[in-house]
Structure 1
């Protein structure tokens, strides 16, 4: 999605969704799913992001978050830039690899339920 998010309260809690290009189901593959989890963990540990909840769907992500001491637009931009640039370099698609549905809710503790 190429829309600019508007964060009026820099300390507010926000819900956003963003999708893959052409809504392609990329998060059904383990490598893409794990890459998104790693990117969210990086933002949580290094960018001051508090994640209250997220849901990774086959072609998009829902995120409920808050940013401490930084501009939320900058952090989301960095998250999306990182995930799009590492998609090709870190994940190889093999035609014989089984797919899994990557739809789950994960609490802020990032433990799978």
Structure 2
């Protein structure tokens, strides 16, 4: 049976969404955003990840991503999510200033116990819903969606004012990670 959401070719870019279990607002804290960004940078340098666009929101991340062919995109996504999950968990467990620690760790532990392919902990929801960006129209629509997320949420008036987004790069303002421009 064919899956509706699947990475079918390594030659295209895909729109993906990584969502924290139960939509927990983990990325309100800079430390957690930095762990995610460090993992993206590592995957860019060592695994061939190409980032065409991204936006980190409080409880999810949207990206338009592809690969140089060095590794399969689904493997890069797996490694990116696995690394961030382990390191955010470790940081959270060892951070005495995280006031929501017990509550969030309990929810993530329960989420992991309810899934057969997790051992005892789940940070990310398991699906990414990859959508192939195989036309310029689809690509522009998805990138606009990514960049306008913080505006729609009421965080900023201009997409390029959101620090944790590639909208800055598309307006000639250097962002936080290297961008592979899609148009």
Contact kept? 1:56, 1:103, Cα under 8 Å: no
What TM-score comes out, normalization by structure 1 length?
A: 0.80
Match of 2:97 among 89, 94, 97: 94
Aligned residues: 105
Number of the residue aligned with 2:164: 104
Contact kept? 2:18, 2:62, Cα under 8 Å: yes
More strand by share: 1
Number of the residue aligned with 1:22: 22
SS in 1 for 2:28: coil
SS in 1 for 2:27: coil
Q: What runs of 5+ residues in structure 1 fail to find an aligned partner?
A: none
Q: How many Å apart are 1:38 and its aligned residue?
A: 0.5
> Residues of 2 paired with 1:45 and 1:110: CA distance?
18
CA deviation digits over 1:22-56, x for unaligned, max 9? 11000000110111111111111111011111000
Matches within 5 A, 1:71-90: 71-90=72-91
> Residues of 1 paired with 2:61 and 2:51: CA distance?
13
> Residues of 1 paired with 2:66 and 2:25: CA distance?
27
CA change 1:78–1:58 in 2 (3 A) is: same
> Residues of 1 paired with 2:30 and 2:20: CA distance?
16
> Residues of 1 paired with 2:83 and 2:26: CA distance?
16
More helix by share: 2
> Residues of 1 paired with 2:43 and 2:73: CA distance?
11
Q: What runs of 5+ residues in structure 2 fail to find an aligned partner?
A: 100-154, 156-161, 177-183
* Structure with bigger RCO (C-alpha 8 Å, 6+ apart): 1
